[in-house]
Amino acid sequence: MELVLIPAGEFIMGEAGGCLDEQPPARVRIEKAFWMGRLEVSNEQFGCFDALHDSGVESRFSMQFGVRGFYVNGPRQPVVRVSWEKAMAFCDWLSRKSGQRVTLPTEAQWEYACRAGSASPFYYGGVDADFSKFANLADITLREYVCNTYSKAREPWFNASKYDDWTPKDMRFNDGGFLSDRVGGYQANAWGLHHMHGNVAEWTRSAYRPYPYRDGDGRNRSSGPEKRVARGGSWRDRPAEARSAYRQAYEPYQPVFNVGFRVVVEATPDQETVLQTEADGIDRCGGKNVLRLGQCLWRTTTAADSCGVWPRASNWSSSPASLGNKARASKRSCGLTVVEF
Ligand SMILES: [Ca+2]
Ligand SMILES: [Ca+2]
């Protein structure tokens, strides 16, 4: 499992033109740096904890008595149909195994990491932006839902009637991702995180309460009966439901067909210091550190091709380009950690 280091900082949480539950937008401070999964937790990874988990199958459309669906159990596909309670149990299990404090991100951590310095509805632009390079959402590819349900192969019927091809989708764009996808080639955000928008929505630790958001008001308790918030939208959602600020809520015991999760790990003071040093402009790319923390081997790679871009703490930037030319941007980094378990 690969984690990237997210710096401490401030951001505006919520969106003025968004849904009522995103109001009012307000400044929120992330007090401490933290590590966050580069990707959503996969079926293979979740299987180490619960070998019997079944991410399930999506029904094909069209033929009335179809017999085959689309499975989302691929080892590199993100785990879904995992309740908030089970996601938290996975985090507890991984904490014991790794000696680190592994948990789900709070809503604030999630939105802050998703935005990566951006103030727009998506880290790559607005709701009408072409998302095909950045996110696996409900695009024209969802036409292929309508197909021969007796065939092992995917045999789309592109001349399907509107009564069969009814899945809401954004027909303007082709992101190439059909259901959930691990290897879609989508670009990471400025902090090296993939699939924050789309692919599968992600549980956060936070209970679904109105804003203003407060870390300490009880909404981030690790148990309780309140609904919990999922973020980021999925392959089944059009752009408006995948915005940085968009909130969905489900019961904590509820497995959801398009909701998975990614983990965060509390950063140690040492790691925060390193990050601050990097943010101040010291070039550490090209080196490689191996840290042994607790019982878990952590490898921090700083090869140029895996570098994230860390803007200066006092001058947040949403894109490498705004930091200068590509060569310079690629030298500013660097935190990629592999938790082996
Ligand atoms: Ca898609
Ligand atoms: Ca996602």
Render pLDDT for 308-332 as a digit per residue (tens, 0 to 9).
333 222 232 333 333 333 323 332 3
Render pLDDT for 256-300 as a digit per residue (tens, 0 to 9).
999 999 999 987 665 554 443 333 322 233 332 222 222 222 233
Render pLDDT for 103-144 as a digit per residue (tens, 0 to 9).
999 999 999 999 999 999 999 999 999 999 999 999 999 988
Would you say the C-alpha torsion 236, 120, 263, 186 has a positive or negative sign?
positive
Q: How far is the CA of 250 from the centre of ligand 2 (A)?
A: 16
Q: How far is the CA of 309 from the centre of ligand 1 (A)?
A: 26
Q: State the residue range of the domain holding 310.
A: 268-340
pTM of the model: 0.81
Burial class of residue 75 in the structure, from the number of CB atoms within 10 Å of its CB (0-12 exposed, 13-18 middle, 19+ buried) = exposed
- Residue 116 CB partners (closer than 8 Å, separation 6+): 123, 189, 190, 191, 193, 318
Ligand with the closest atom to the CA of 196? 2
292 within domain boundaries? yes
Structure token digits, residue 225? 């009966």
DSSP-derived pairing of the beta strands 9-13 and 228-231? unpaired
Report the pLDDT value the prediction gives residue 270, as an integer from 0 to 100: 59
Tell me what the mean pLDDT of segment 199-207 comes to: 98
Q: How far is the CA of 210 from the centre of ligand 1 (A)?
A: 31
Q: How far is the CA of 150 from the centre of ligand 2 (A)?
A: 31
326 within domain boundaries? yes
Q: Who wins on pLDDT, 201 or 63? A: 201
Structure token digits, residue 209? 């309460």
282 within domain boundaries? yes
Q: In the chain, pLDDT over 90 holds for what percent of residues?
A: 54
102 within domain boundaries? no
Burial class of residue 16 in the structure, from the number of CB atoms within 10 Å of its CB (0-12 exposed, 13-18 middle, 19+ buried) = exposed
Q: How far is the CA of 268 from the centre of ligand 2 (A)?
A: 26
Q: How far is the CA of 64 from the centre of ligand 2 (A)?
A: 32
Residue 104 per-residue DSSP state: P
77 within domain boundaries? no
Q: How far is the CA of 136 from the centre of ligand 1 (A)?
A: 4
Ligand with the closest atom to the CA of 144? 1
323 within domain boundaries? yes
CA distance 309 to 320: 6
13 within domain boundaries? no
Q: How far is the CA of 132 from the centre of ligand 1 (A)?
A: 8
Ligand with the closest atom to the CA of 136? 1
Continuous H helices in 222-319: 269-279
Q: How many domains does the chain have?
A: 1
Ligand with the closest atom to the CA of 239? 1
Ligand with the closest atom to the CA of 77? 2
247 within domain boundaries? no
Report the pLDDT value the prediction gives residue 284, as an integer from 0 to 100: 32
Render pLDDT for 210-246 as a digit per residue (tens, 0 to 9).
999 999 999 999 999 999 999 999 999 999 999 999 9
